[in-house]
Amino acid sequence: MRSLIITTMIISIIFNSHCAVAKGQIVNWTKSENLVIANIDWCLNHSPSNTECPSNIRKKNPETPRVTESDTVQVAISGFNFVNYELEVSIAETKIESYVYLNSLWNQLLGGVSLDLIADFVATRSRDRDGEEAPEPLLEWWKKLDETSVDLANLGRAYSGQSYLSESDLQFLVDSLPDIYGQDGKSGWVGELNSLRLTARESLKRSRMIKNFEAIDNLHQQLIAQLNSYALLVNKSSKGYVTSIKKKDAGTLVDVVLNATSLPNGSKAETTSFSYLSESKFPLTFHAGFTVSQLKDSEFQALRSANGQDIFAQIKDEDTTQSLAVFLSHPFGRKVGGKHNYYATLGTDIDDLGENIYVGLTRRVSENWLFSVGAAYGKQTVGEQPAEGSPSTNIFEIIKEEREAELFLSVSYQLF
């Protein structure tokens, strides 16, 4: 599994798919001290024609910055239609065990809105049980509630078929707010409905239609709540939405998926995704590659001799060990062209963490390729006391493990 993860990461990086720009989508990154912000313009990513999107992300930085275990990540979404869609943010974490292991060594070394009124207006239109005519103010109040609910539904359906909002879409929604609250916050639909409610309440002094009033008042309260919700969602769409991702341990690969869900039917719409690695607080470079060492690669198979004693046949005897290894390297010296050329290196094999440890120096040979040399510390299995009377020299009575230090060489590719 570890080999698969790292190999997949290497392939992804070679084809430039390890960045936050996934499937042509744009994530703009900014970083200040221990805060990293992933800015996502939903309109820019999902509109068929993004020329009207209210975005300046195109001119900014799509490269993922170095996110460390000390950093909090915020996801800032703009251009999203919160009036008609719900945004679900899901986060998946994958521990890269080799990174965690090597980082621990370095630490040791370095110390909705619903737009439909639920109640039935028809039930409140007519007369009460004793046949009394409903007062005119009560009917006017109900009539205005009915008209306003239809107007609100029309506003809500304006962009119900798209999860993104262009600049003109946003302007339309913002321009609808004065209809709800008026220019001074006291008139508009809300102010007019509250005024009609008060007048209707006064009219009940000459009427016994309390039940009718209570039924209409229930609709009134629902509609006022929906108007307020609509205004909140318009402001949320206009100002954007920010969610935070807590600090993650070093060596954690974080995959973030944002799903838009249609509020009327709950169906999934567009998706935006990106990923990043939570790196060490130390300025360590993570690279992986093909490694050759002079550690002997030996294997033995247990056999049973004629007298019942176990003996061991050597079935593999290679003078070198070849493996896929990962490294965390600490830079030293001055930067050249924005990157260091020399590093102190710690590494281990991906398949057997800690079985072989590589300690040495690394030299950058190109933008992302590095060459490492140093000592490989690992266990070697050797046979002792050749079995008496055996026709083969590869049969031993005893095998033992010895930890040796031998030369290693590696060519690797920088992952992070």
**CA nearest neighbour of 5 among 18, 16, 24:** 18
Query: How many alpha carbons lie under 13 Å from residue 372 in its C-beta half-sphere?
Result: 36
Q: What angle do CA 286, 292, 298 make, to 5 degrees?
A: 125
Tens digit of each residue's pLDDT (9 = 90 or more) over 8-20: 454 444 334 343 3
What are the b/e assignments for 274-308, b being 16+ CB within 10 Å? Answer: bbbbbbbebebbbbbbebbbebbbbebeeeeeeee
- The enclosing H or E element of 195 equals helix 188-203
How deeply is 210 buried, as exposed, middle or buried, from its count of CB atoms within 10 A (0-12, 13-18, 19+)? Answer: exposed
Q: Where are the beta strands (DSSP E) in 306-394?
A: 310-318, 321-336, 339-349, 356-364, 369-386
**Strand order, beta sheet including 72-78:** 28-32, 35-41, 72-78, 241-245
Q: What is the pLDDT of residues 305-357, one digit of tens each?
A: 556 566 666 666 777 888 889 999 999 888 877 788 899 999 998 888 888 88
Rounded CA gap, 144 and 230, in Å?
18
Percent of the chain with pLDDT over 90: 15
Average pLDDT, the chain: 78
Q: Which pLDDT belongs to residue 155?
A: 85
Task: Indicate the burial class of 50 (C-beta count within 10 angstroms; 0-12, 13-18, 19 or more).
Answer: middle
What is residue 17's DSSP assignment? -
Q: Is the dihedral of CA 355, 356, 358, 364 positive or negative?
A: negative
Q: What is the pLDDT of residue 356?
A: 86
The pair of structure tokens assigned to 282 is 């130390």
Q: Which residue has the higher pLDDT, 292 or 314?
A: 292
Q: Which of 155-159, 253-257, 310-314, 363-367 has the lowest mean pLDDT?
A: 310-314
- Contact criterion met (CB below 8 Å) for 43 and 166: yes
| Enclosing H/E stretch for 290 | strand 285-293
Q: Residues 321-330, buried b or exposed e (16+ Cβ, 10 A)? A: bebbbbbbbb
What percent of the chain is predicted at pLDDT more than 70?
A: 74
Q: Encode burial over 344-381: b for 16+ CB neighbours within 10 A, e otherwise.
A: bbbbbbbeebeebbbbbebebeeeeebebebbbbbeeb
Q: Please say if the pLDDT value at position 129 is more than 70.
A: no
- Rounded CA gap, 200 and 268, in Å? 44
The pLDDT, as a whole number, for residue 327 is 93
Q: Is 264 exposed, middle or buried (0-12, 13-18, 19+ CB in 10 A)?
A: middle
- 358-381 pLDDT, tens per residue? 999 999 988 889 999 999 888 777
Res. 119 pLDDT band, cuts 50 70 90: very low
Token digits for 298? 């030996």
